[in-house]
Amino acid sequence: MASVYSKRNILYISWFDWSLGKSINRSTKLIDTPSNRKTVEKKATELQKSLDKIKDEAELNALIRGATIKTAFKHFLKNNISKHKNTIYEYNHFYKLFTSRFNENNVCTVLTKLSVEDWLCDVKKLDYKQNTLHMYYKQCNHFLNFLFEYKYLPIFKINKEVKIRPEVKEIITFSDEEIQIIFNGLGCKNSNFRTMVYLAYYTGLRSSDLLTITGARVDLEKNQLSYYSPKTKKYYEVPFHKDLLVVLEARINEVNNGPLVCFKNASNMSLAFRRYLKSLKLFGTGYSFRVFRKTFISQASEYMDISTVSKLVGHASITTTAKYYNKVELKRKATELDKFVGLKGAE
β pairing state of 3-7 and 224-229: unpaired
How many angstroms separate the CA atoms of 317 and 310, rounded?
8
* CB-neighbour burial class of residue 273 (10 A; exposed 0-12, middle 13-18, buried 19+): buried
Give the tens place of pLDDT for each residue, 276-287.
999 998 877 678
Query: For residues 136 and 105, is the Cβ–Cβ distance under 8 A?
Result: no
Give the tens place of pLDDT for each residue, 256-265.
999 999 999 9
The number of residues making up the chain comes to: 347
| pLDDT exceeds cutoff 90 at 56 | no
pTM strictly above 0.75: no
Query: For residues 210 and 221, is the Cβ–Cβ distance under 8 A?
Result: no
Residue 324: the pLDDT is 61
DSSP letters of 21-64? TEEEEEEEEEE--HHHHHHHHHHHHHHHHHHHHHHHHHHHHHHH
22 falls in which pLDDT band (50, 70, 90)?
A: confident
Residue 53: the pLDDT is 82
